[in-house]
Amino acid sequence: MTAFDRQVLDALPLTVYTVDLAGRITSANRAWSRFAADNGAAQLAAEQDVLGASIWDAMSDGASRDEVERAMELLRTGRAPVVRWEFPCNSPDEERVFLMQISPLTDAHAVTGFVFSTVDITPSHESREALIDAGLALAHTIALDQICREMAQQVRRGVRGEAFALGVAEDGDAPRLVYQSGFAEDGELEARLQPVWQEARAGGRVIISHSSAGLELTAPMIGAESSVGAMTVLADELESPQRLEEARRVVATLAAQTAAAIERARLVQRVEHKHRLEAVGEVAAGVAHELRNPLFGISAAAQLLRYRAQQDPVVEKNVGRILREVERLNRMVTSLLDYGRPEPVRLAAGDPDLVWDEVLEANRGMLESRSLALVRQRARPPARCALDAEQLAQVFVNVLLNAVDAAPAASDLTLTTTVLPTGAWRCRLHNGGPPIPPEILPRVFEIFLSAKPGGTGIGLALCHRIVDEHHGTITIDSAAERGTTVTLVLPPA
């Protein structure tokens, strides 16, 4: 071996040594000494003691010896061009994983010895294990907070992440921070990460940037249906472009797994909610059917009593009260029947803004009676959605009625509709009235729950059901400082 060959061999960042057919070491690079010393073969640590020594003396367990013997036999007989496997080496400080590769040395097509090379693959092994564990953990449907905690744990393993932040987008909006671990800037973190989250989502790729805290990798969370958000990892400074590329791939894979888990959780939640609504609807329809006949009898009797007691003002007053309550109960029964046994939706391609046009024209008098001004901004170009115009109009009327009831007299209502990048249509109706109580807000779409005095609690539940049958979403945001906004999203046709 020339001096140059020796310099090249010693410069390699992995252990390389050759052995003859009997397993005696014929050459080794300097890394062998460090590897042997680190792994308990002190008697072979010094380079002058290596040459001529047997590799079997460095093997303390029979399983390792058997594995090497099998590899050498495969190479000697030509049944494999190269043999490689991974093996762990535990030290008092940490567990490390190495890749062993054995290749044949040939002379005139005859095997005369073997080349052993060993390289530390602990970071790559940890990344792979993190991906596997994350996939197993997220294979089951779990809640969003569990998804966040699991991903934070796997990020620390996969890319030695020091901090982790996850933003989730709803209905095409910008991602909102839902979880963070390790970042110090709690109050400003979302505002700082918003631009890079949007960039990663728009480009569909991992963004690598440097902040005052260190190296940050931001990946979009793209699911089967849409982009559900983005995640940012603050990682250790990586020593090579190859390790940086590996970290990029790991973060991208973890982001894809997270997106799939979030979509699956949302789907299961929608299905469970639909089944619950169907069960409640069956009960409501049954109750409404049983009430209708008695109410008709009470109304008929009250009408007859009014006819026969026209001269008695006290009886007349109380009969009038009975008839008003019967009418109110009849309206509730009708609503229950609509909710429990709805007409099947008949979807056809159309523009939801045209449905709004008809609803606003028909209810202009209601707005004028409260001196309310409607400020409208409609989608351009028009949306194209699969909709049942009649049932969707029922939703719009109910939402408008609630907004009018809540809005202060002589104030403005704002109706804004847009077409999202996915082609979905989004509508937002805002009023500046008092907020919905926070204890009621998460349950506003539950049947029989109403924040309005005298409300039946059926209207919003029916709206939710109709929108769900359109494969859309309806949400309500309400706070004292910003009023109440109803957001409705319909998918493209």
CATH classification at residue 183: 3.30.450.40
- Domain total in the chain: 3
- How high is the mean pLDDT of the chain? 82
Kindly state whether residues 130 and 145 are assigned to the same domain.
Answer: yes
Range of the domain at 157: 121-341
Q: Determine the Cα–Cα distance for residues 391 and 378; give it in Å rounded to an integer.
A: 21
Q: Determine the Cα–Cα distance for residues 425 and 385; give it in Å rounded to an integer.
A: 7
Q: Determine the Cα–Cα distance for residues 96 and 77; give it in Å rounded to an integer.
A: 32
Say which range, 269-283, 309-323, 425-439, has the weakest mean pLDDT: 269-283
Residues of the chain with pLDDT > 70, as a percent, come to 82
pLDDT for res 1: 55
- Domain stop point among 120, 145, 179: 120
Kindly state whether residues 146 and 294 are assigned to the same domain.
Answer: yes
Kindly state whether residues 476 and 397 are assigned to the same domain.
Answer: yes
Q: What digits encode the pLDDT tens for the residues 302-313? A: 887 777 777 778
Kindly state whether residues 16 and 110 are assigned to the same domain.
Answer: yes
Residue with tokens 């506003």, as numbered in its chain = 444
Residues of the chain with pLDDT > 90, as a percent, come to 24
Q: Determine the Cα–Cα distance for residues 285 and 343; give it in Å rounded to an integer.
A: 13
pLDDT for res 372: 93
* CB 490, CB 472: distance < 8 Å: yes
Kindly state whether residues 231 and 377 are assigned to the same domain.
Answer: no
Question: And the tokens for 291?
Answer: 């009430």
- Domain stop point among 290, 308, 341: 341
Kindly state whether residues 76 and 167 are assigned to the same domain.
Answer: no
Question: And the tokens for 490?
Answer: 């319909």
* CB 398, CB 356: distance < 8 Å: no
Say which range, 9-18, 183-192, 204-213, 408-417, has the weakest mean pLDDT: 9-18
Kindly state whether residues 292 and 174 are assigned to the same domain.
Answer: yes
CATH of the domain at 96: 3.30.450.20
Residue of 131, 109, 104 lying closest to 20 (CA atoms): 104
Question: And the tokens for 102?
Answer: 């054995």
Question: Residue 435: CB partners within 8 Å, gap ≥ 6?
Answer: 441, 478, 479, 480, 483, 484
Tell me the pairing of strands 227-235 and 161-168.
antiparallel
Kindly state whether residues 297 and 351 are assigned to the same domain.
Answer: no
- Domain stop point among 70, 100, 120: 120
Is the pLDDT at 459 greater than 70? The verdict is yes
Kindly state whether residues 59 and 109 are assigned to the same domain.
Answer: yes
Tell me the pairing of strands 425-431 and 412-419.
antiparallel
Kindly state whether residues 383 and 394 are assigned to the same domain.
Answer: yes
What mean pLDDT is predicted for residues 172-201?
Answer: 85
Kindly state whether residues 220 and 319 are assigned to the same domain.
Answer: yes
CATH of the domain at 477: 3.30.565.10
Q: What digits encode the pLDDT tens for the residues 110-168? A: 899 998 888 877 777 677 776 666 666 666 667 888 888 888 888 887 787 888 999 99
Say how far residue 266 (Cα) sits from the centre of its chain: 8
Q: What digits encode the pLDDT tens for the residues 375-398? A: 999 999 999 999 999 999 999 999
Say how far residue 98 (Cα) sits from the centre of its chain: 35
Which range, 44-48, 169-173, 270-274, 365-369, is most confident? 365-369
Kindly state whether residues 93 and 131 are assigned to the same domain.
Answer: no
